[in-house]
Structure 1
Amino acid sequence: MHLRNVALFCEVVTRSSFSKAAEAHRVSQSAASQAVQTLEDRVGTVLIDRSQRPLSLTPAGQIYYDGCRRMLEAFRQVEERVFEISDRVIGRLRVAAIYSVGLLEMTDSIARFGEAFPDVSLTVDYVHPDEVYRSVQDGEADLGIVSFPRAGEFQVVPWKEQPMTIVVPPQHRFASQSILPLDDLNGETFVGFCRDLKVRRQIDKWLKAAGVSVDVVHEFDNCEHIKRAVEAGSGIAILPVPTLRRELSQASLVAVDPDGVDWQRPLGFIHRRNLQPTVAALRFIEMLEVTTNV
């Protein structure tokens, strides 16, 4: 049994797609399909129900998948120990990151990482925060990047803190002010993050601590949509300063510092607590720490 076939099978299951699994492994879709068929021929039963959309595992397939995942993880750990002895950085690194981590910063860091470690196959997916945690927990991602990282079943590696500021459209009456007393926010129309996000809960705590009540009229799960709504005049918002670089340079938005407070959004890396990060993951963390600014 070839490990490549096992890896492709697990990828098909986690992505619920032959085409996406093939793309991730840089093979044709027919090659991915053949790999799964080879395993099914070996065990004499169907592992994946192809009549379902999305694809689903058969009972036998679930047992096989659980065992294959453990086997691949054990093999990865053995390889890591050998690579450490020879000081090699090689293999595959899958990263799941929140949308607002900073595409410009990440693009530069990814390019630098590829130049420094050409033997590492790096993929970065930008997803909802809940999806970052799920991907890491389920083994679909080796490393996650989130804001306000939570521990529990995850090991957290702090990265950096980003200042948060009040954001208004240029025509707003606050736009002419460099510093804004928090009391002035009372009753303001706000565009906020969705209530289930940690960043939204933290912003609510900040406002409550200041005795401020706002009228949230729109909620989004990412900074980009919030910025577009503020530009359209739907309200004002509180956002991380680094996510505003383009809009501030183009004067489509104005940042106003809150008076007397220091609002910060912590960013951090997460990985499964019971799993030692790979050398590639550690080097990626080091690369981001060196090449990105607050």
Structure 2
Amino acid sequence: MSDFARNLDWNLLYTFMVVVQNESMTKAAEELLRSQPAVSLAVKRLEKSTGKRLLMRKGNSFTVTPAGQALYDRATEVYSTISRLPLTFEKAPRALTGKIRIASIDHVESRDLNARLTRFFEKYPNVELEILVATTADVIRMVERGSVTFGLCDGVIPQSLSASELLSERFGLYCGPNSHLAGRTDLTPMDLRGEPFIGFTADVLGGSHMGDVTAFRASASIGQYVRGQSSQVNEVRRMIECGLGIGFLPIHLADPYAARGNLFRLPPYENEPSATVYLIVNQAVSLSEAEQLLLEEMQREWAG
């Protein structure tokens, strides 16, 4: 066993972890900035090193074997520990110091969140903050890997992560001022089938993080042709406003543009789909003192 630990190549283990998380050799290669054959070869070398079949390949897809799943579970634990080693080196003899990293989907508007962050950083002025804006899938991946303190995202949260509801946003369907749909009041969702669609990157029909908005699209057969997409709310709004297609936007963010005539609301006008934004945490990750204090304050507030 000691020989196994000494001879194991961590780079192979990390490559395997990324492959499983992406559920695709090609996507893993893109993330790792390597060629697909190189990634595939790395997995084969790891299988030879472990003496176990880790993936069952069939064409361009694969399934993870029981041995592969067990190795993946341990690899993510090891990675989260290693990635956070720099935090254990932080020392604060007199004042709390350190750096907190939060991963968030774009444009999360919460006065409560802002107030809590303000209170914390006023109390601990030597603590630094970095906020990374990413897609739902990437936020979840960063929390799983332990590379951020916590995440703010919507979608379907894996059971391995702890999730606290932060807010719920209602989404309306909009078009631009030059659209042939603009200003019409006689439309039904049926009339919108076949229209070019502008969506968020994570808003994929049949995707692993499909929420209410995507489910509404599927049930109403809207947005089969996705003409444009972005993970940024303002860029989705820009494409809708420029007439590239119709798309869903958070109503409270779109209302000012609609009031100026830059956007026009489309059905449904009631019972709109909504998206819940969660604060997600990896409970298996060891946090720094600064991170733990912020997280305790956040969770204590939301628990009430």
Q: Give the TM-score taking structure 2 as reference length.
A: 0.57
Partner residue of 2:148 out of 141, 145, 170 = 141
Tell me what 1:170 maps to. Answer: 177
CA contact (8 A) 1:95 1:143 kept: yes
> Which consecutive unaligned segments of at least 5 residues does structure 1 have?
1-52, 55-63, 80-87
Give the AA of the match of 1:282: E
Instruction: Give the drift of 1:164.
Output: 0.6
Cα distance change of structure 1 residues 239 and 185 upon mapping to structure 2, 3 Å threshold: same
Partner residue of 1:96 out of 93, 96, 103 = 103
Tell me what 2:233 maps to. Answer: 223
Instruction: Give the drift of 1:167.
Output: 1.2
Tell me what 1:187 maps to. Answer: 194
Task: Between 139-148 and 209-218, report the one with greater CA deviation.
Answer: 209-218
Cα distance per residue 1:64-85 (max 9 Å; x no partner):
9987657667789xx9xxxxxx
Cα distance per residue 1:188-236 (max 9 Å; x no partner):
2221233386666653421332355653322333322221111111111
Aligned equivalents of 1:253 and 1:69: distance in 2?
44
Give the AA of the match of 1:224: N
Give the AA of the match of 2:193: N
Tell me what 1:16 maps to. Answer: none
Give the AA of the match of 2:242: A
Task: Between 212-221 and 165-174, report the one with greater CA deviation.
Answer: 212-221
Cα distance per residue 1:170-205 (max 9 Å; x no partner):
233443257852222122222123338666665342
Partner residue of 1:207 out of 187, 210, 217 = 217
Partner residue of 1:238 out of 238, 248, 263 = 248
Tell me what 2:293 maps to. Answer: 279
Percent of aligned pairs sharing the same letter: 19
Instruction: Give the drift of 1:91.
Output: 4.9
Cα distance change of structure 1 residues 234 and 118 upon mapping to structure 2, 3 Å threshold: same
Partner residue of 1:270 out of 277, 280, 302 = 280
CA contact (8 A) 2:177 2:261 kept: yes
Tell me what 1:156 maps to. Answer: 163
Instruction: Give the drift of 1:276.
Output: 7.6
Give the AA of the match of 2:297: R
Give the AA of the match of 1:283: E
Cα distance change of structure 1 residues 70 and 206 upon mapping to structure 2, 3 Å threshold: closer
Aligned equivalents of 1:249 and 1:260: distance in 2?
18
> Which consecutive unaligned segments of at least 5 residues does structure 2 have?
1-32, 35-77
Task: Between 235-244 and 154-163, report the one with greater CA deviation.
Answer: 235-244
Instruction: Give the drift of 1:95.
Output: 0.8
Cα distance change of structure 1 residues 173 and 69 upon mapping to structure 2, 3 Å threshold: closer
Cα distance change of structure 1 residues 224 and 105 upon mapping to structure 2, 3 Å threshold: farther
Cα distance change of structure 1 residues 273 and 65 upon mapping to structure 2, 3 Å threshold: closer
Aligned equivalents of 2:221 and 2:84: distance in 1?
51
CA contact (8 A) 2:103 2:131 kept: yes
Instruction: Give the drift of 1:244.
Output: 2.4
Tell me what 1:10 maps to. Answer: none
Give the AA of the match of 1:157: S
CA contact (8 A) 1:92 1:120 kept: yes
CA contact (8 A) 1:165 1:241 kept: yes
Cα distance per residue 1:271-294 (max 9 Å; x no partner):
10324872212334677999xxxx
Aligned equivalents of 1:178 and 1:267: distance in 2?
31
Aligned equivalents of 2:283 and 2:269: distance in 1?
39
Counterpart secondary structure, 2:252 = helix
Aligned equivalents of 1:104 and 1:252: distance in 2?
26
Partner residue of 1:131 out of 124, 135, 138 = 138
Aligned equivalents of 1:126 and 1:90: distance in 2?
23
CA contact (8 A) 2:98 2:128 kept: yes
Cα distance per residue 1:82-121 (max 9 Å; x no partner):
xxxxxx9875422111123249997776545433543543
